[in-house]
Structures are given as C-alpha cells and as structure tokens.
C-alpha cells in the first residue's frame, strides 16, 4: 500500500486533501477526518488496480520474435532486448543537427512514400514490420523521428506517466473507443501496436501492463500519473530501455520519458501502426509527398477548447 507521503504526490489524492481545506468545497466537511479520507483513498486505489490488466502484455522485448520464427521450441523463454542500428545523424561542420517529424503518415511497406529526409530510417521501419504477424502493403503507418540535444535533468519527450490512447475529451466522444495504434498479442504473434527506440539508455520507462479504460480511468490525453501509486515493479514489471533497444507496446501501456543525467544528443524513433482514430493536424507533420492519414483529421490545439473535424486532405507542410 502506498505511504501517506505518496498519497500527497498522487495528483488525484492531493486534490482531495486540498479540497478539505477549501471552505467552498463539499470536501471541507472531511477536514480532520483522516480515518474517512484513508478509507476513500483505499477504495480509490482498489478501483484503479482493477483497471490494470496484467494478463495482457503491455510491452514485448523483441529478441524472442526471431527465436520463435526459427525454433518453435524456444517459445516462452525469457525475453531479451533487440538492439537496432540507428542511422547517422545529420552533421554540419561536425555538429549533429536537430530534426523532428511527428506522426507523419506514410505507406509502411513503400519506402518511396517517405520523403528523402526520413528515408534513412527505412531499415529500422523494416525491423518493425518483420516482427508483425501480418502484412498489408497498403497500410498507413505514422512515423515520429526526434533528434536533438537534451539538457541535464530534462527529458526529450513527454514527461509523466501516460498511455498513447486518450481517455476521451470534450471533442472526442468518450463512448467511442480511441485508438493510437492498438496492439495485441495472440499465440505469440504481434498485431498492430507501437514500436519505439532511442539512442540513450534509461531515458524511457515502460510498465508491462495494459490499462483498461472501461470506466474512463485514463485522462483526456492519456494521462495515468494517478496510477503510479498502484503500479508495482514485481507484480507488473518495469523496464528502462537500453540504448538502441527496440520494443513493441500497446497504445494502453503506461510509459514516460525520463530525464537524462548529462547533456546528450538523443535520437528517438517511433512507429505507430495503422489502427488510429484521430490525427491532430496542428500537432503532426504532414507528408510532403501527399500521403494522407487513414484517420479522422482534427484541426486546432488539442490541449485547447476549440478543435474542428475535417474530412478533407491534410495540408502539405514541410518536414523540419
């Protein structure tokens, strides 16, 4: 059970405590009633634990995929890391240059659907496709490449525990399932999901559990920081990726970008497979070759109040 100190660091439980000191809040009636608050907290923790599905893998370390294909008798053995080769950085006068594309749509098995600036990542994409249990040359995938300097005690990507599939927002009907790649494992065969890797060790943490959202347990943008209090390394399994380690995960797998210890140039790669419900045009990179997302296109700030649905093609913008 989490300590009282961890209760304060939990964003939901902290708001409850703060509410007891707000005279305008109904929670003020519970001020000084620590025994009642503790019962409320324990009930909340039990409810959150009920949404953690440990029987459905949250991530898969991919070395076992090759062993399964070449030798069926090795199924079920301990998973090991699958290390991949990242492409060379773009250099100017010997200095690596930043480069960033986010959720750019392309045809996964057609290298010519990638702009020249991204085609150096084609071998890594092929590594991912080789691990999947199906092949459809017309499937649209979504590529993220983030290359840049990261300062000490900062993370390159999104901090805080989250999943990629949102829990719904004001502009996305919560009654409709939201997918950001999906992902499931059937008879040791991977279907859909998300692949990711980076060149810096211990800069990404991931939990081997699936967060069920049947009762809207995920935040509007996939935030699950409140679940940190009920995650356990021994029970659920926790992994910090090695440098150049490629893993597969679902869009409901808790993960986070971790701060680096020293200034470093980090290359990050992510491939989101076809099962995508919404593509945020203002937060994503359009493919300059005209490849369109196979998803509902939304315009506007997804963190703001005004987002418009659009059935037309995405605008052509340059990769930068």
Q: How confident is the model at residue 4 (pLDDT cuts 50, 70, 90)?
A: very low
Chain-wide mean pLDDT for the chain? 83
- Residue (of 243, 261, 196, 170) closest to 58 by Cα position: 196
Pairwise CA distance, residues 136 & 109, whole Å = 8
What is the fold, at CATH topology level, of the domain defined by 53-310?
Jelly Rolls (2.60.120)
pLDDT band at 303; cut points 50, 70, 90: low
Of 33-37, 115-119, 199-203, give the lowest mean pLDDT range.
33-37
User: Which pLDDT belongs to residue 40?
Assistant: 86
**Per-domain residue ranges of the chain:** 1-49, 53-310
How confident is the model at residue 5, as a pLDDT? 46
User: How many other CB atoms sit within 10 Å of the CB of residue 136?
Assistant: 11
Q: What is the pLDDT of residue 306?
A: 47
Q: What is the rounded distance in angstroms from the CA atom of residue 163 to the CA atom of residue 180?
A: 9
Q: What is the mean pLDDT of residues 202-216?
A: 88
pLDDT in tens, 10-60: 888 888 888 888 889 888 888 888 888 888 888 888 888 999 998 899 999
Q: pLDDT-based confidence at 218, cuts 50/70/90?
A: confident
Strand partners for 142:
105, 272
Of 128-137, 198-207, 271-280, the one with minimum mean pLDDT is 128-137
More confident residue, 64 or 174: 64
Q: How far apart are the first and last CA of the chain?
A: 47
Helix axes 34-49, 11-20, angle to 10 degrees: 160
């Amino acid at each position: 059970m989490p300590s009282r100190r961890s209760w304060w660091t939990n964003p939901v439980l902290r708001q409850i405590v703060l509410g007891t000191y707000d005279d305008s809040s109904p929670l003020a009636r519970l001020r000084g009633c620590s025994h009642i608050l503790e019962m409320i907290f324990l009930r909340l923790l039990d409810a959150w634990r009920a949404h953690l599905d440990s029987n459905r893998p949250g991530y898969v370390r991919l070395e076992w995929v090759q062993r399964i294909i070449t030798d069926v008798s090795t199924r079920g053995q301990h998973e090991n890391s699958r290390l991949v080769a990242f492409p060379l950085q773009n250099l100017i006068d010997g200095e690596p240059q930043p480069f960033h594309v986010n959720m750019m749509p392309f045809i996964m098995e057609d290298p010519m659907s990638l702009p020249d600036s991204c085609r150096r990542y084609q071998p890594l994409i092929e590594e991912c496709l080789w691990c999947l249990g199906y092949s459809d040359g017309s499937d649209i995938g979504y590529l993220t490449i983030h290359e840049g300097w990261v300062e000490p005690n900062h993370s390159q990507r999104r901090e805080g525990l989250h999943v990629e599939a949102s829990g719904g927002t004001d502009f996305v009907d919560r009654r409709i399932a939201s997918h950001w790649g999906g992902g499931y494992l059937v008879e040791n065969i991977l279907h859909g999901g998300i692949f990711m890797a980076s060149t810096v060790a211990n800069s990404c943490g991931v939990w081997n559990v699936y967060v069920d959202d049947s009762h809207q347990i995920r935040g509007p943008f996939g935030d699950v920081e409140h679940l940190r209090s009920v995650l356990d390394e021994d029970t659920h399994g926790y992994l910090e990726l090695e440098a150049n380690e490629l893993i597969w995960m679902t869009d409901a797998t808790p993960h986070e970008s971790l701060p680096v210890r020293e200034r470093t140039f980090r290359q990050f790669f992510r491939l989101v497979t076809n099962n995508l419900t919404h593509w945020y045009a203002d937060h994503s990179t359009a493919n300059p070759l005209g490849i369109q997302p196979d998803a509902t296109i939304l315009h506007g700030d997804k963190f703001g109040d005004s987002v418009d649905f659009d059935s037309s093609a995405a605008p052509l913008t340059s990769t930068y």
